[in-house]
Amino acid sequence: MTKDFLKAFGITIRDQIIMKNSMEIDGLGVFKAEHTSQRQEKRADGVYIMLPPKDSIEFKSALED
């Protein structure tokens, strides 16, 4: 695979994730956006802090099935 192909491939995955679409690649797996809502967490010192919402990328390998 060439560097140009890998760059375009990465851009395609990124663009689909930004649009909240999952992207399945036969023989490789599925990339999808995962949203985590805002939440409260208690630190070890007993202080509560608010964690902001965030989006991340989840990947499930085709080999996991």
The tens digit of pLDDT for each residue in 8-52 reads 988 998 898 889 899 998 988 999 999 999 999 999 999 999 999
- pLDDT band, residue 1 (cuts 50/70/90): low
What is the rounded radius of gyration, in angstroms, for the C-alpha atoms of the chain? 17
Note the pLDDT of residue 43. 95
Note the pLDDT of residue 36. 93
Note the pLDDT of residue 3. 92
Is pLDDT of 63 > 80? yes
Rounded Cα distance, 50 and 43, in Å: 10
Query: Which residue segment(s) compose the domain that 51 sits in?
Result: 3-64
Task: Give the CATH number for residue 36.
Answer: 4.10.520.10
Q: Are strands 54-61 and 29-36 parallel, antiparallel or unpaired?
A: antiparallel
- What is the number of structural domains in the chain? 1
